Amino acid sequence: MAAPDPPPRPGKPPLPWRARLLVGAASALHWASLRGDGTVNRFLLSLFDRAAPPTPAPVTGVASTDHAISDHLRVRLFTPTTAGDDDSKHHPVVVYFHGGGFVFHSAASAQFDALCRRLASAIPAVIASVDYRLAPEHRFPAPYDDGEAALRWVLAGAGGALPSPPAAVFVAGDSAGGNIAHHVAARLPNNVAGLVALQPFFGGEAPTESELRLRDAPFGAPGRLSWLWRAFLPPGATRDHEAANVPDAIRRDADGGEGRWRAFPPTVVCVGGWDVHQDRQRAYADALRSAGAEEVTVAEYPDAIHAFYMLDELADSKKLVADVAEFVNWRVEQLEKRELDHARD
């Protein structure tokens, strides 16, 4: 006899009233824009997904500029003013992929523009926010291809747009962007200094305990998640496709004798206690460790909902930005020390 579904988590996540209203409005807007025929009402989304313009003159200590990599691919660079203060100081570059279920938002969306500014200032680092193609108009593997192209563009010098050669190049992303960041890092592991996965969006056919328990949590509705995966995955694919069920894909590689995950870059996975995806995120970290990845850290935020980092007034949001800065700077120091040791040898 099958075990009964676990009951939903009692109570509500601890959010201030303003944050609760914003989350409710965003969730309702997303639902309203998803059509039954598998298309998206982008006009409706455009009414509420406010775009922030680039700011070549610094705002809150960070300048931003837009750059075209190809006819369909653009990157917004966020450069902290400190990056130009000392020519001898090389700052890291973080190639960032925004969230939105592969379907919503852009690098110019106001909330992601603000998040990238916060990260650029806190680390400090140049943030290269990638405006990748969206589903369902552009399915798998279009975002991964765009992500690889953006990373290669940065590694090649970003067309001279960087203030100095990067100290190191990282990939990062939230939700679906965390999924993209993983796949981009897996394509070019030797070129990536570290991976920052903020509540990465993974899936699978068999529901996890957290997916059952938190189905009523913000952004956790099973119907919505199913729609998003159908919009992104190849026609006819299930959520056990390697793009979605990443933990299982890593385990299959390891069981088949592949050792490629031993070269996977140091990774931090940020997990929220009110996030429907948390079981898959922890399983991802466990799968990487089991496959041979040496440096995988899970950062826990027990009171956090999915996408909590967008609400900059939350204490956990501030903590996450500080944690990301600590990880990036630790990794840069580690690489600099290794380079110095090699020079002495």
**Catalytic site positions:** 175
Tokens representing 206 are 């068999």
| E strands in the chain | 62-68, 74-80, 93-97, 126-131, 169-174, 195-198, 267-274, 296-305
Is the bond preceding 141 in cis, omega lying within 30 degrees of 0? yes
CA atoms within 13 A on the CB side of 336: 13
User: At 228, phi and psi to the nearest 5?
Assistant: -65, -40
Other beta carbons less than 10 A from residue 292's beta carbon? 15
Place of tokens 């992303």: 173
* Token code pair at residue 125: 């680092």
Question: Count of residues for the chain?
Answer: 345
Determine the Cα–Cα distance for residues 190 and 225; give it in Å rounded to an integer. Answer: 33
Contacts of 108 (CB under 8 A, 6+ apart): 51, 52, 53, 66, 76, 131
Three-state SS for 190-239 is: HHCCCEEEECCCCCCCCCCHHHHHCCCCCCCCHHHHHHHHHHHCCCCCCC
- What single DSSP character describes residue 293? -
Edge-first strand listing for the sheet containing 296-305: 62-68, 74-80, 126-131, 93-97, 169-174, 195-198, 267-274, 296-305
**Alpha carbon 115 to chain centroid, angstroms:** 12
